[in-house]
Amino acid sequence: TIALQHGAHRIGNRTDADMARWRSLRFGQFIHWGVYAIAGGEWNGKVYNGAAEWIRSWKEMPHEEYDKLYRQFNPVNFNPQQWASQAKDMGAKYMIITTKHHDGFCLWPSKYSKYNIAASPWKKDLLGPMIDAYNKAGIDVYLYFSIIDWNHPDYRPSLKNAADSAAGKRFQVFVKNQLAELLQRYPTIKGFWFDGTWDASWKNDGAFTDELEQYLQSIHPGLVMGSRLRADEKGARHFDSNGRLMGDYEQGWERKLPEKIEDVHGNDWEAVMTVPENQWGYHAKWMGHVKSANEILEMLVKSVSLNGNFVLNFGPKADGTFRKEEQDLMTNIGAWMKVNGDAIYNGTYAGFEKQDWGYYIRKTGTDSVYMVVFNMPVSGNLRVKMPARTYLTGVSMLQNNVPLTPELIGREEYFLRLPNKQSDVPVVILLKTSTKEGNKEGGNFEKA
């Protein structure tokens, strides 16, 4: 291995209570909200094909026009209690809010940048009421913070000369001040979700990223921060030059999921996902495929089955309301979570051989293994092959506790048959297992 001063300082996952809490939550709500929602992906009668929160970079949108939008930001229909209530109904256990996206507009009245909510017609802090409402609903809050800041005069993508380096230094102080300000104003938040850390100016100062992470932990011990913040002294990101994960979880899964357990290398990880193909902030005209509740549930279940967290993104409108498609998703996902949430919360990789019908999830530290069925086989036979030294002792439908009698088809291998093959939502079966052979509950499990 290479000697590194600013590579990973920990081998393996965090084992403290704050990280265990993050792991137990499994399902989060991402919210991208800012002045870009005023444009809504359109300008001068033209539709922007990129991600709505990037419209300032569109050649049809003059920077000075975008930079005036904040004068119209007045979310008169913003109702944080309603936001928190619908997130709770969806079954989200944590929420990530954009405090400041790449455009640099701050949703809180920052002392360190005038480009903030106090300068808008709304004037008031948006983050405080939001964090309070979500916390009151039993939902933890994490703060998205973009290092890239297109508004700040000292931001440099790269440092080409002494003047750039001086500006870069001033910018690092600015970043540190804003983050300390956020921790001081919002002491109940559980971590940061950093973005915009790919520019050379950031990744070529691994020492600063390391010191910053330690500085934030010193102010608020236990913060959970993913792998996007750090670089090592050779400019390696996410994984240091020895291949070790920096930060508390792998934060690279953006609009994509791992396929199999080997893809996550034993690390904690989180996937963040858009409802349309690629829109985070509000876009008036969603283009391309819009995911259904069942598609999203499959991504959530697949993530948990592979030991990860899954965060679904929402882009509220400039007035503070959510579009109907997003409201309907929260309702439909929530209806399933209300019945089947037990299979998600505290869910982990079960160690069973993957079958075509869907995914296994083990409730952490227990003998309970859930089967979440997405693909009903024409044969009606759901194959279950027990891992070595693991024995099946009971099978029931999660929703109504109806027991099933497995058909033994081989050594610790079974077919399960559902009471009825028709379902337009995923079906969950609860397997009770044991590491001791023999004590079978009820059912004879022998050859039918």
Residues that bind ligand 1KN (CB under 6 A): 51, 53-54, 195, 254, 272, 280
Question: How many whole angstroms separate alpha carbon 320 and alpha carbon 31?
Answer: 11
Question: Within 13 Å of residue 118, how many CA atoms lie on the same side as its CB?
Answer: 8
Q: State which residue, 51 or 429, has the beta carbon closest to ligand 1KN.
A: 51
- CB 412, min distance to ligand 1KN, A: 43
Q: State which residue, 55 or 369, has the beta carbon closest to ligand 1KN.
A: 55
- CB 60, min distance to ligand 1KN, A: 18
DSSP states of 225-258 = E-TTS-B-TT--BSB-TTSPBPSSSEEEEES---
Cα 46 to chain centroid, rounded: 31
- CB 34, min distance to ligand 1KN, A: 10
SS3 assignment, position 133: helix
Question: How many whole angstroms separate alpha carbon 33 and alpha carbon 311?
Answer: 16
Question: How many whole angstroms separate alpha carbon 250 and alpha carbon 93?
Answer: 19
- CB 304, min distance to ligand 1KN, A: 20
Residue in 264, 285, 267, 266 with CA at minimum distance from that of residue 276: 285
Q: By Cβ distance, which residue is nearest to ligand 1KN?
A: 280
Q: State which residue, 285 or 338, has the beta carbon closest to ligand 1KN.
A: 285
Residues 6+ apart with CB under 8 A from 6: 206, 207, 209, 210, 230, 231, 232, 233, 240
- CB 272, min distance to ligand 1KN, A: 6
Kindly give the residue spans of alpha helices, DSSP state H, lying in 109-250: 127-136, 162-185, 200-203, 206-219
- CB 252, min distance to ligand 1KN, A: 11
Q: State which residue, 56 or 244, has the beta carbon closest to ligand 1KN.
A: 56
Question: How many whole angstroms separate alpha carbon 131 and alpha carbon 118?
Answer: 18
Q: State which residue, 69 or 272, has the beta carbon closest to ligand 1KN.
A: 272
- CB 163, min distance to ligand 1KN, A: 27
Question: How many whole angstroms separate alpha carbon 299 and alpha carbon 254?
Answer: 12
Residue in 262, 269, 250 with CA at minimum distance from that of residue 310: 269
Q: State which residue, 237 or 244, has the beta carbon closest to ligand 1KN.
A: 237
Q: State which residue, 43 or 415, has the beta carbon closest to ligand 1KN.
A: 43
Q: State which residue, 51 or 428, has the beta carbon closest to ligand 1KN.
A: 51
Q: State which residue, 23 or 102, has the beta carbon closest to ligand 1KN.
A: 102
Question: How many whole angstroms separate alpha carbon 252 and alpha carbon 34?
Answer: 23
Taking CA atoms, 229 is separated from 39, 147, 196, 253, 310, in Å, by 29, 9, 9, 14, 19
Inter-residue contact 109 to 157 (CB < 8 Å) = no
- CB 53, min distance to ligand 1KN, A: 5
- CB 63, min distance to ligand 1KN, A: 17
